[in-house]
Amino acid sequence: MSEQLDLDHSPAERRRLRVRGAILEAAERVFATEGEAGLSIRRLAGAIDYSPSAIYKYFGSKEELIDELKEAFFSRLMSSMDQAAFQAMPFEQRIRRCFMNYIEVATERPHHYLAAFSTSAADAPAADRGDWEAFQKTEKGKAFGTVIAIVEEGQQRGQFDPALDSVHAARSLWASMHGLAQLLISVPNFGEGIPTRAAKLNNHEFTAFHVDLMIRSLQTPLPASGTNETQHV
């Protein structure tokens, strides 16, 4: 990759990309442990031995830098989901792994994940076609597109209810994964739950249980039983 960089860019451009990369790496390290509150241009300048004014040449503001970190996070998330969703294994196993990956990547980098949704009202998919098309080009939009593709593949295979609107179903799945990820971040032992007759589940086991319910909710309903069958409430 570095050889390709040498061929594609001038020495000045290569230096600019190296400095920009160093800024992002330093920001990643701070953000991973302290979140947005611990991140400042002055602190990053000290970490890479540059002046704050020099960093502003690469990022116009702290907000612009954070937006870059959000996109990088969703790029990582999308890559993890795609690796699971489109590899060679049985369909249900692929989508189970894909949904598990989403929740696990989110909880492994809680500061990144929470920041990625901190302005959700501004960058969520909108009803306007122009906004929707712009959203689809973002890393977040590509991750959402993977979920839509999963629903549509399941419908084509006859495993998911064909009556479901694939976009609404994908939004519901996203809401379900997002909700559990948020709970696992906010309540570290959420998976253990409250005392029941069943064996306790750790967070990974509870996530697998939750994902299984998500998949079941998409499956094609069984044919209605005979009218003579007694129904029990």
**Helices 139-156 and 166-186, packing angle to 10 deg:** 120
Q: What is the mean pLDDT of the chain?
A: 82
Task: Give the chain's domains with CATH numbers.
Answer: 1-60 (1.10.10.60), 67-218 (1.10.357.10)
Dist CA 118 CA 140 (whole Å): 13
pLDDT in tens, 159-197: 999 999 999 999 999 999 999 999 999 888 887 777 767
Of 204, 228, 222, the closest CA to residue 107 belongs to 204
Stated pTM of the model? 0.75
Q: Is the dihedral of CA 87, 89, 91, 95 positive or negative?
A: negative
pLDDT in tens, 28-83: 888 888 888 888 888 888 888 888 888 888 888 888 888 888 888 888 888 888 88
Percent of the chain with pLDDT over 90: 27
